A and B are shown apart, each in its own frame.
Chain A
Amino acid sequence: MEASLEKPSSPAITASRRTGKWKKMKQQKILYLMVLPAFLCTLIFAYGPMFGLYMAFTNYSPGGGSFFGSFFHSEFVGTQWFRYFFENGDFYKIMRNTLAQSLLSLLIGFPAPILLALLINEVGGGLFKRFVQTVSYLPHFISWVIAANIIVTLLSSQGAINELLMALHLIDKPIQFLQNGHAFWGIIAVSNTWKDMGFNAIIYLAAIAGINPELYEAARVDGASRWRQMWNVTLPSLKPTIVILSILAVGNVLNAGFDQQYLLQNTTVLDYSDVIDTYTYRYGLQNGMFSYGAAVGLFKSVIAFILVVAVNAWSRKVNQQSLY
């Protein structure tokens, strides 16, 4: 009975529902006004550039008139800029650098916060724990400008790292870290890890806080040492979190960064430092190849979107399975 009532069976009922909806929307007009500022900001600064991506298929030149208006008299060139990107030899280098820096950062930066969370959890709730944890977040909150200033100082020929290596007699003369292309990927990976390890540990600590204390009780009764408890109780309990976060990391693999590469690179290491975003900036804005820059940006956005959607579907599936 109720189901048949719910169904809009006659046109009259549908129409009255529609007017009901209108009436409600009118009542809610203040709420729509509250949405408006955010809507306008998003429309202009997020959707505007999306529609502007049409420039990637033209020979855009910033002549007179508005941005969108100039589309009408810009020459349509189809996929010319995309073919240019794939064929001019930069594509391979840029993708290699992007993926290498991303994956190397994951290799070091993914396990580090797990280890940190496991060990912080072992020292109880005292002042020491709070202190170490608070200090470990600090690098996350400073800008890459400050971080880069710190990193170039530490790595300079008179810097603390060279001095330490010399004092330990590991090297005889200072290493020019930042002028060595082969070192760049490693420097980025370590810097990323330094910056975000403490902050990323938070999510694991939250997961650890949710573990049932009875599990530890049972382990202690069985005579498990603290190391065993960590290895056999805490770590397995983190597995769902680890799985989800690693899946999400895959979705982010093209976001190797911009700030850290741009601020730490110099012309001698460009062959190894240049990633998609720095490349887009250099060609698109600095060299004024607007359409080419937009095309490379669009390429990245589309691949990243596909990756994120695929990965979200994957994580949902994993999530469901781990529930059973």
Chain B
Amino acid sequence: MSLIKRSEDRLFMAFVYAFLILVFLVTFYPFWNILVLSLNSADDAVRGGLYLWPRSFSLQSYQEILKDQEILTGIKVTLMRTAIGAPLTVLVISLLAFALSKKDLVGNKLISLFFIFTMYFGGGLIPYYMILKSVHLIDTFAVYIFPNLMNVFFVIIVRSFMQELPAEVEESAKIDGANDFQIYARVVLPICLPVLVTIGLFSAINQWNSWFDSYVFTYKSDLKTLQAVLVKILNQYQTQEFTSSSGQLADSAKRMAVSSETIRMAATMVATLPIVLVYPFLQRYFVKGMTLGAVKS
């Protein structure tokens, strides 16, 4: 009996491991494929068949990127919007969360409703564009910052964290005559550092990944972010793939297409790398944040 059970368990576990390894491959391989293509010399990549390992290793594509003005500007703008946008978002959100964590704030319910309603209803893209236009944010760097300062979901997470703090934390500061802002800045913020870092990293990732605002709301080439440049490269590639598949491309043109192809892969890797470096550190917090969010909604 127990012998049968054990072999049944062994079979089951074999299936479990096989499935999880499959999940790992399916998730990981696409990134690996891009890395391999980006590290292969462009001339050699024309022959195709690059799947597991670079055939002729070369950093040429990355060197090309470092010479490409459009991509360099894109990286600079993206770094700037991330470095400016994320801390400001944390500031605005933590201020609001602190105020709303005070249950005796007159009108707390009404104020909360004002913010929560926006999670359920929105005006849609066209009036949003018109608003951006009428406050003169179109084609400015500020369009990356101001519209992204608020996030109701983040506020809920930070507020719950603040509400869970023991009351004594603030009592002694109050006795010393500190006002609400001093309590916020000197007492509550330092304690909330872990959750604020999490929110900060999340908004940094959002800023880094955001492409639509740059693609649609800006025109100047020195305002285009890395993601927006990547969209442009992607569109060019799709047109090429389309014409080459209908056999309209000469060999030389094909060669050009493939060399721009390895550059596309290198640019994709450059946009991916910061995320890969940062996201494992978020793990500890987003598990908590997500369960919390689910309970609240």
Spell out A's residues near B (CB within 8 Å): 21, 24-25, 28, 30-35, 37-39, 41-42, 44-53, 55, 62, 66-68, 115-116, 119-120, 122-123, 128, 131-132, 134-139, 141-146, 148-154, 156-158, 160, 163, 176, 178-179, 194, 197-198, 202-203, 205-206, 223, 225-227, 244, 248, 258-259, 263, 266, 268, 277, 280-281, 284-285, 290, 293-294, 297-298, 300-301, 305, 308-309
Contact = CB atoms under 8 A, between A and B. Distances in A.
B272 A163 contact: no
Contacts of A225: 5, 8-9, 12
B19 A119 contact: yes
Contact of A163 (B49, B99, B211, B231): B49
Nearest to B244: A157
Given A160-B33, A227-B12, 16 more contacts: A21-B106, A35-B100, A45-B150, A48-B123, A50-B121, A55-B127, A62-B130, A67-B133, A122-B13, A128-B20, A148-B234, A149-B264, A152-B237, A206-B287, A284-B125, A300-B124
Interface residues of B, number: 99
Interface in B210-234: 210-212, 216, 227, 230-231, 233-234
Contact of A136 (B23, B125, B135, B234): B23
Interface string B61-79: 0000000000000000000
Give the interface SS of chain B, mostly helix, strand, loop or mixed. Answer: helix
A225 B227 CA distance: 50
B124 A35 contact: no
B20 A153 contact: no
A134 B280 contact: yes
B268 interface: yes
A37 B126 contact: no
B291 to A, nearest CB: 5
Contacts of A280: 124-126
A203 B275 contact: no
A308 B34 CA distance: 39
B271 interface: yes
A293 B280 CA distance: 40
Contacts of B280: 134
9 contacts: A28-B102, A41-B92, A44-B131, A55-B126, A62-B133, A115-B19, A122-B13, A156-B241, A178-B241
B16 A142 contact: no
Most buried by A among B12, B104, B127, B216: B127
A31 B105 contact: yes
Contacts of B53: none
B149 interface: yes
A206 B291 contact: yes
A298 B124 contact: yes
A226 B104 CA distance: 52
B70 to A, nearest CB: 15
Interface in B95-130: 95-96, 98-100, 102, 104-107, 111, 114-115, 118, 120-130
A68 B13 CA distance: 64
A266 B238 contact: yes
The 5 closest A-B pairs by CB, nearest first: A49-B123, A297-B124, A52-B127, A143-B209, A67-B134
A12 B179 CA distance: 32
B124 A53 contact: yes
Nearest to B229: A145
A34 B20 contact: no
Contact of B122 (A24, A128, A142, A301): A301
Contacts of A120: 20
B42 interface: no
Given A41-B149, A141-B205, A297-B126, A157 B241 contact: yes
Nearest to B96: A38
Contacts of B30: 150-151, 154, 194
Contacts of A28: 102, 105-106, 180
Given A35-B96, A38-B95, A53 B31 contact: no
Contacts of B167: none
B125 A176 contact: no
B150 A42 contact: yes
B134 A68 contact: yes
A123 B124 contact: no
Nearest to B1: A223
A153 B235 CA distance: 13
A279 B274 CA distance: 33
A49 B297 CA distance: 24
B180 A31 contact: yes
B114 A285 contact: no
A135 B127 contact: no
B137 to A, nearest CB: 9
A30 B179 contact: yes
Contacts of B133: 62, 67
B242 interface: yes
A203 B291 CA distance: 6
Contact of B16 (A66, A119, A284): A119
A284 B123 CA distance: 13
Contacts of A37: 91-92, 95-96, 149
Contacts of A145: 209, 211, 227, 230-231, 234, 271
Contacts of B231: 145, 263
